[in-house]
């Protein structure tokens, strides 16, 4: 379980560059910056709440499937870790295609988020976070799919919580210190180390499945 949570956290951490490009500008435009740290905190709490909700809901339905499907979900989660590592290194762009899945839902939710702008209260910041948690993002979908391989709904929810925590350095950094955090996140050595750890987690998951199926 600890390995799974660390892997979920790492997916969030390596999402940093993607998050900065997709959400960083939106946060600044919405007024979330270094002069409003409390609102930035409420926004991120809302965003992580949505991630946990998605993991919980979809995990509930996945666990209605026959029990023998769980090992295959774990195999899939390991495969997604591999694809995410390759995407992080710029060797595979499949996540961008995956994002198309969420656009129909986002088109319905986006008008609701516009009503909360500009952000001038904790309630509005939290609401924006809840809604923007549904912004089409291949790495979020990867994390959700990864969480479906957990043993139960609670573990799936925890996996999405740890994914959300992993995204915090980038999201808080984009609002408070973007110029400092961006070079570190894009450093080639950092990217290779994080991608390598993700591949190691994938192998660990597959070995665990193999041992349980023997």
Cβ proximity of 49 and 167 under 8 Å: no
Q: What is the pLDDT of residue 124?
A: 87
- d(CA 95, CA 142) in angstroms, rounded, equals 8
pLDDT above 90: residue 154? yes
Q: Which of 150, 113, 155 is nearest to 133 (CA)?
A: 113
Question: Buried b vs exposed e over 167-198: b needs ≥16 C-beta within 10 Å?
Answer: bbbbbbbbbbebeebbeebeeeeebeebbebb
Cβ proximity of 137 and 102 under 8 Å: yes
Q: Output 50 or 137, whichever has higher pLDDT.
A: 50
Please, which pLDDT band fits residue 64 given cuts at 50, 70 and 90?
confident
SS3 percent helix, strand, coil of the chain, rounded to 5, is: 80, 0, 20
Q: What is the pLDDT of residue 127?
A: 92
**Among 23-27, 63-67, 151-155, 187-191, where is mean pLDDT lowest?**
23-27
pLDDT above 80: residue 190? no
pLDDT above 70: residue 104? yes
**Among 21-25, 90-94, 119-123, where is mean pLDDT lowest?**
21-25
Q: What is the pLDDT of residue 146?
A: 83
Q: What is the pLDDT of residue 29?
A: 57
Structure tokens at 174: 């984009």
Q: What is the pLDDT of residue 84?
A: 77
- d(CA 186, CA 169) in angstroms, rounded, equals 13
Structure tokens at 50: 């949505």
Q: What is the pLDDT of residue 211?
A: 75
Cβ proximity of 9 and 162 under 8 Å: yes
Helix (H) or strand (E) holding 11: helix 2-14
Please, which pLDDT band fits residue 81 given cuts at 50, 70 and 90?
confident
pLDDT above 80: residue 158? yes
- d(CA 135, CA 8) in angstroms, rounded, equals 19
With H, G, I as helix, E, B as strand and everything else as coil, classify residue 25.
helix
**Using the 8-state DSSP alphabet, how is residue 93 labeled?**
-
- d(CA 7, CA 202) in angstroms, rounded, equals 8
- d(CA 143, CA 152) in angstroms, rounded, equals 15
Q: How far is CA 196 from the centre of its chain?
A: 18
pLDDT above 80: residue 198? no
């Amino acid at each position: 379980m600890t390995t799974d949570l660390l892997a979920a956290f790492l997916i969030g951490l390596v999402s940093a560059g993607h998050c900065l490009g997709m959400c960083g500008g939106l946060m600044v435009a919405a007024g979330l910056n270094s002069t409003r740290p409390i609102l930035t905190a409420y926004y991120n709490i809302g965003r992580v709440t949505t991630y946990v909700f998605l993991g919980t809901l979809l995990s509930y339905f996945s666990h209605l499937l026959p029990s023998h499907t769980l090992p295959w979900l774990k195999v899939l989660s390991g495969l997604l870790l591999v694809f995410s590592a390759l995407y992080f290194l710029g060797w595979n762009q499949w996540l961008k295609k995956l994002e198309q899945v969420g656009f129909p839902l986002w088109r319905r939710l986006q008008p609701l988020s516009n009503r909360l702008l500009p952000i001038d209260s904790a309630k509005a910041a939290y609401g924006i976070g809840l809604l923007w948690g549904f912004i089409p993002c291949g790495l979020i979908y990867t994390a959700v799919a990864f969480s479906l391989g957990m043993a139960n709904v609670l573990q799936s929810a925890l996996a999405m919580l740890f994914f959300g925590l992993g995204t915090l350095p980038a999201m808080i950094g984009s609002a408070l210190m973007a110029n400092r955090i961006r070079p570190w996140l894009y450093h080639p050595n950092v990217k290779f180390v994080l991608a390598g750890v993700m591949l190691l987690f994938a192998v660990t998951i597959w070995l665990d499945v193999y041992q349980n199926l023997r």
